[in-house]
Amino acid sequence: MRHLPFLLLLALAACKGRQPAVDSEVSATAVNAPDWVRARPVTSAYYIGIGMARKDQPGHMEVAKQNALNDLASEISVTVESNSLLHTLDQGRFFNETFTSAIRTRTSEQIEGFELVDSWEDNTHVHVYYRLSKSEHARLKAQRRQQAMDQALDLYGRAQSSLASGDLRGAMDLDLRALLAMKDHWAEAATVDMDGRTVVLGNEIHDHLKRLTSGTVLGIIPERCVLDHANGFQREMLIAAEHRQGTAQHRLAQLPLVIEYPGQNGPVTERRSTNNDGHARTVVQQVRPDGRQHELVVRLDMDALASRELEPKLVPALLAGLTVPEKRVVIEMVMPRVLLRANEHNLGAPVGDAGLASTLRQELATRGFRMVEKPAEADLVMELNASTRSGGETAGFHTAYLDMRITVQDRSSGHQVYEGGRQGVKGVQLDLAKAGLDAYKRAAQDLRNEVVPALINAVM
């Protein structure tokens, strides 16, 4: 009796077609060849494998043996039962076609217990004849399946205990290990009696895996994340995680979470784990002030739940149909109330609406800032000072330079929170006054693109 290693089986199963029992040239002249060379044996008690190789090729004996084993494997059909785990995963389209084919190959027959019946060679070819008792094959297959199921049941029981103690990460790891212990039998509807009912074990464990995430509930306190001038535009949020199934509730410790919200410089992504009480904390800050409604999103970190040591080609398919728990909270940006005082001149003359104040008001309003007229209503007092000066004349063209300074003061504390501006912004025109106004136009672009973003970063 012999045992075919599993990796060798995969190589053989990947081959296409069955090697012919006899070469037509050889059969015509091999008058002394045994009957099994001339005609393939027919028997209901055995699977048959016959292989042949030319003697002038390297390792011809091993080639003939491999061809015979391939022929033997091709006789053993593998059917994906309709209520098996593999069928369930196929129906859910969690495996693509290529991956499904690989899984079918993987769950194909592990051949052991075969025997060499005979071998024969002539001047040009060598022939090998293997056979495998169908009853012995069925017995060994059932034995392997039972061993896998026993291991899976043990892991599944431990997964349920882990969940009861609030360890969802451990429960998921054990469920995955239980399923992987049965991977060679995913195509079979292997049943067990459990709590007074008969269940397909692979499906039962996979259903438990799905219940682990679908029963996970995330909560966030407070229910709205309000960011305003009073709290410095940052807010600590408390996250709670528990698992609910029927009347049972378990706080989930060391649960990996992903936290996301829009920041001033792009999306913010944080990873946290709950403590032993099932709680985690995060501080929402530096949120992008673009006038749109934003959300804080907290979800289960599925990538962190699965151990990296588990089979990377199989685990994603097992996790593909799971619900990913998440919780969303609105981020409410209450922008500061601003009193703007502007002092702007062009070559000593007031500029009125042609100055920078209107641009500054527009940019702040676009970002949600609220403009007020009374100091008592303001959170921030903003001072804008701008003036132009002559830069001389060349070939009939006049040059003017603009100097701009902006300061922002917290009205309640009196502290200055920002100071900035531009010096020597150049304007050129045929008229000196128009050159000054041209400098104001150019400074407006600097105000939009650089000064206002820096001001907002300082304030928030």
- Based on the fold, state whether residues 256 and 272 are members of the same structural domain: yes
- 345-367: per-residue pLDDT in tens? 999 999 988 899 999 999 999 88
Going by their DSSP bridges, the two strands 224-228 and 326-334 should be labelled as parallel
pLDDT at 19 over 80: no
Tally Cβ neighbours within 10 Å of residue 304.
15
What is the reported pTM?
0.71
The range of the structural domain enclosing residue 221 comes to: 216-334
- Based on the fold, state whether residues 317 and 341 are members of the same structural domain: no
In this structure, is residue 412 part of a structural domain?
Answer: yes
- Based on the fold, state whether residues 291 and 380 are members of the same structural domain: no
Residue whose C-alpha is closest to residue 125's, from 252, 239, 241, 38: 38
In this structure, is residue 370 part of a structural domain?
Answer: yes
As beta bridge partners, residue 225 has 331
- 288-317: per-residue pLDDT in tens? 877 778 999 999 999 898 888 888 888 888
Residue 225 sits in a domain whose CATH number is 2.60.40.10
Going by their DSSP bridges, the two strands 397-410 and 416-429 should be labelled as antiparallel
The whole-angstrom separation of Cα 296 and Cα 267 is 11
Total domains, the chain: 3
Contact between 459 and 292 under an 8 Å Cβ cutoff? The reply is no
In this structure, is residue 402 part of a structural domain?
Answer: yes
- Based on the fold, state whether residues 342 and 300 are members of the same structural domain: no
- Based on the fold, state whether residues 318 and 375 are members of the same structural domain: no
- 396-454: per-residue pLDDT in tens? 999 999 999 999 999 999 999 999 999 999 999 999 999 999 999 999 999 999 999 99
- Based on the fold, state whether residues 276 and 224 are members of the same structural domain: yes
- Based on the fold, state whether residues 40 and 12 are members of the same structural domain: yes
Domain edge (last residue) among 334, 360, 394: 334
Residue whose C-alpha is closest to residue 267's, from 232, 297, 310, 305: 297
Residue 125 sits in a domain whose CATH number is 3.10.28.20
- Based on the fold, state whether residues 412 and 454 are members of the same structural domain: yes
110: confidence class by pLDDT, cuts 50, 70, 90: low
In this structure, is residue 441 part of a structural domain?
Answer: yes
- Based on the fold, state whether residues 358 and 292 are members of the same structural domain: no
The whole-angstrom separation of Cα 354 and Cα 265 is 32
